[in-house]
Amino acid sequence: MHFLQADRQLLIGLMLLALSLVLSGCGLLSTGSLLQMPGGPARAIVDNVPFFAQEELQCGPAALAMTLNWSGVTVQPSDLTPEVFTPDLHGSLQSALIGATRRHGRVAYPITGSETLLAEVSAGTPVIVLVNLGLSWYPKWHYAVVIGFDQEREEMIIHSGLNAYEHLSFRVFENIWQRGAYWGLLVLPPDRLPVRVGEEEWLEAVAGLERTGQWQEAATGYGASLQRWPNSFVSWMGLGNSRYRLYDLAGSAEAFQRAALLQPQNGMPFNNLAQVLKSQGKQKEALSAAQRAVALGGPLVGNFRQTLEEIESKER
């Protein structure tokens, strides 16, 4: 009897304490009004996002598998676990999801904010979101995939945990996503630009493919970027580098020449052009390109000199 009473008092005390904690952190209270997209559709749902129920602690691999399969890569969550899961952290880091996306030849494009999220989902792209299902001081980090929304009913539609097509009110979603710093990730085929895309962000995302040796996909990504921004110096440089790795020497030389036209005072395209010309056996042209690079100088002039020396040494 005594025990029960004490228990109840403790419970009431705890509830009061909890309530005061909640109310003191008033930044937590959100009305969900941030989730609006003026001029956008009232509702949207992305087709062809397969659902994978997650194993314990494996929301990272599950979320990534859903988006990768949507993008055309056939893969199971269990295949992704060794690539993204960190055992002692009991979870998967955001950077691991990014790296694994690249290893499967897809562009990892981070986004932030509700408006961008709704815009991308409206355009038919699923978005991985990092949410904190608990509280800032007692976090329960979780990855889910946003696949749709309904503005009239104020609901988000997500694949999450063990639930496919879970409907979550905007208000709750806003609260848990806010605690995840509004971080989202697009997993895109390299020829598909996000609707809200920045040139620099896209190029950095595509260059990430180079790091995992996905040269064909990188070349496709730079090609897509040039359709959007025909005068993008970095895109031509990236295209030149990717084609060189794919043994398309003529295409590579052309790309570096286009880059050189865009920034004639920059030694980098001439240095790389010299390397390509050397590989093509065009000794004379290689020499003049390397000399041009050295003459233009800049912080990488040391590299340019090495290139020149190497080409000269072949001459003797």
Partner 1 sequence: MIQKIIKPVSFLLLFSFLFLDVSVQPAKAQMIGTHTVIAAQKQEASRERVTAFLGRDDVQRALVQRGVDAAEAQQRVASLSDAEVTKISQAMDQLPAGGDGGLGTIIGAVVFIFVVLLITDLLGLTHFFPFVNHRR
Contact indicator for 50, 197 with CB cutoff of 8 Å = no
Please report, as a single letter, which amino acid is at residue 162.
L
Task: Specify the stretch interacting with partner 1 by CB under 8 A; choose among 17-25, 41-49, 187-195, 280-288.
Answer: 17-25
User: How far is Cα 52 from Cα 67, in angstroms, rounded to an integer?
Assistant: 10
What part of residues 33-52 is at the interface with partner 1 (CB under 8 A)?
A: none
Q: Which residues touch 131 (CB under 8 Å, ≥6 apart)?
A: 141, 142, 143, 144, 173, 176, 177, 179, 180
The reply to whether 53 sits near partner 1 by the rule CB under 8 A is no
The only residue of 6, 14, 195, 261 in contact with partner 1, by rule CB under 8 A: 14
Please, is 44 exposed, middle or buried when counting C-beta atoms within 10 Å of its C-beta (0-12, 13-18, 19+)?
buried
State the CB neighbour count (10 A cutoff) for residue 311. Answer: 21
Contact indicator for 144, 160 with CB cutoff of 8 Å = yes
Binding mask 162-181 for partner 1 (x = CB under 8 A): xx---xxx-xx--xx---x-
The reply to whether 138 sits near partner 1 by the rule CB under 8 A is yes
The only residue of 73, 115, 123, 154 in contact with partner 1, by rule CB under 8 A: 154
The reply to whether 18 sits near partner 1 by the rule CB under 8 A is yes
Q: Token pair 């990488």 is at which residue?
A: 300
Which lies closer to partner 1 via its Cβ, residue 281 or residue 302? 302
Q: Give the pair of three-digit tokens for residue 125.
A: 């792209």
Query: With CB under 8 A, what is the number of residues at the site for partner 1?
Result: 90
What part of residues 187-226 is at the interface with partner 1 (CB under 8 A)?
A: 200, 203-204, 207-208, 210-212, 218
Contact indicator for 289, 277 with CB cutoff of 8 Å = yes
User: How far is Cα 286 from Cα 271, in angstroms, rounded to an integer?
Assistant: 9
The only residue of 6, 19, 195, 295 in contact with partner 1, by rule CB under 8 A: 19
The reply to whether 27 sits near partner 1 by the rule CB under 8 A is no
- Least CB distance to partner 1 at residue 307 (A): 5
- Least CB distance to partner 1 at residue 181 (A): 8
Which lies closer to partner 1 via its Cβ, residue 37 or residue 144? 144
Q: Token pair 């064909």 is at which residue?
A: 216
Which lies closer to partner 1 via its Cβ, residue 124 or residue 175? 175
Binding mask 247-286 for partner 1 (x = CB under 8 A): ---------------------x--xx--x-----------
The reply to whether 105 sits near partner 1 by the rule CB under 8 A is no
What part of residues 84-103 is at the interface with partner 1 (CB under 8 A)?
A: 85-96, 98-100, 102-103
Residue 226, SS3 per DSSP: helix
**121: nearest Cα among 221, 37, 206:** 37
Residue 158, SS3 per DSSP: strand
